[in-house]
A and B are shown apart, each in its own frame.
Chain A
Amino acid sequence: KQEVTQIPAALSVPEGENLVLNCSFTDSAIYNLQWFRQDPGKGLTSLLLIQSSQREQTSGRLNASLDKSSGRSTLYIAASQPGDSATYLCAVEGGSARQLTFGSGTQLTVLP
């Protein structure tokens, strides 16, 4: 059974810092890995999708990497801003297609 772990559970940084969020998964047989952002009481916003054959994806100040063999992914956020404050979730699609297994998230607070 796939298990996804995210560390740390919570992170507080001053504005302008670069930061890294970590995600690990137990079964490397995945189709893809997706990073999401969730604001309180809201749905999920897709940030980046990395297919299993890819090593990384970039969008603006975000960069996500994937190391399937070690079962790890990182989300790098450059020059953090207060508007980045949210919970960040990683999810892997594997085994059964279109079934995402989620980590428990990292709650990020960026202080002005």
Chain B
Amino acid sequence: KAGVTQTPRYLIKTRGQQVTLSCSPISGHRSVSWYQQTPGQGLQFLFEYFSETQRNKGNFPGRFSGRQFSNSRSEMNVSTLELGDSALYLCASSEGTGTVEQFFGPGTRLTVL
């Protein structure tokens, strides 16, 4: 089975712009979660989608949003980028029901100038 894929792998944007990141989960997985990783704050949960519905949301401003499509692929959008949004954005996929293992993608490295 192919693993979790994320595109693009690297992005450079300027303050005020917006960005969309994409995540394709493992085939058959219906849950996709997003995390932000920074040197200062470590790994922090953004949100989780299951069957096209947001089930859970972390403590991030409304500039961070996401969605999930019927094929379980997910996108994350950040509007009005700030310098502090520079981070590695990771998505994780799981079967979505019960206590199951989460599998992470390689991440998208976002740099905001």
**Chain A positions near chain B (C-beta within 8 angstroms):** 31-32, 34, 36, 41-46, 49, 51-52, 89, 91, 93, 96-105
Given A46, A97, A105, which contacts B101 in the complex, CB threshold below 8 Å? A46
- Hey, which chain B residues are within 8 Å of A42, CB to CB? 106-107
- Hey, which chain B residues are within 8 Å of A98, CB to CB? 31, 33, 48, 50, 55-56, 94, 96, 102
- Hey, which chain B residues are within 8 Å of A89, CB to CB? 43
Label chain A's interface by main secondary structure. strand
- Hey, which chain A residues are within 8 Å of B55, CB to CB? 97-98
Label chain B's interface by main secondary structure. strand
What are 11 sample pairs from A and B whose C-beta atoms fall under 8 A apart? A36-B104, A42-B107, A44-B104, A46-B102, A97-B56, A98-B50, A99-B33, A99-B56, A100-B43, A100-B92, A101-B45
**Chain B positions near chain A (C-beta within 8 angstroms):** 4, 6, 31, 33, 35, 42-45, 48, 50, 55-56, 58, 88, 90, 92, 94, 96, 99-107, 109
Q: Nearest chain A CB to B95's CB is how many angstroms away?
A: 10
| Complex A-B, nearest 3 residue pairs according to Cβ-Cβ distance, in ascending order | A44-B104, A102-B43, A43-B106
Q: Nearest chain B CB to A33's CB is how many angstroms away?
A: 10
Q: Nearest chain B CB to A6's CB is how many angstroms away?
A: 10
Which of B44, B92, B99 has the largest count of A CB atoms less than 10 A from its CB? B99
Q: Which residue of B lies closest to A49 (CB)?
A: B101
Report yes or no: A34 in contact with B102, Cβ–Cβ below 8 A: yes
Report yes or no: A105 in contact with B107, Cβ–Cβ below 8 A: no
Q: Nearest chain B CB to A103's CB is how many angstroms away?
A: 8
- Hey, which chain A residues are within 8 Å of B48, CB to CB? 98-99
Q: Which residue of A lies closest to B101 (CB)?
A: A49
- Hey, which chain B residues are within 8 Å of A31, CB to CB? 99
Q: Which residue of B lies closest to A93 (CB)?
A: B99
Report Cα–Cα, A111/B4, bound state, in Å. Answer: 31
Report Cα–Cα, A89/B90, bound state, in Å. Answer: 14
Given B43, B90, B96, B99, which contacts A32 in the complex, CB threshold below 8 Å? B99
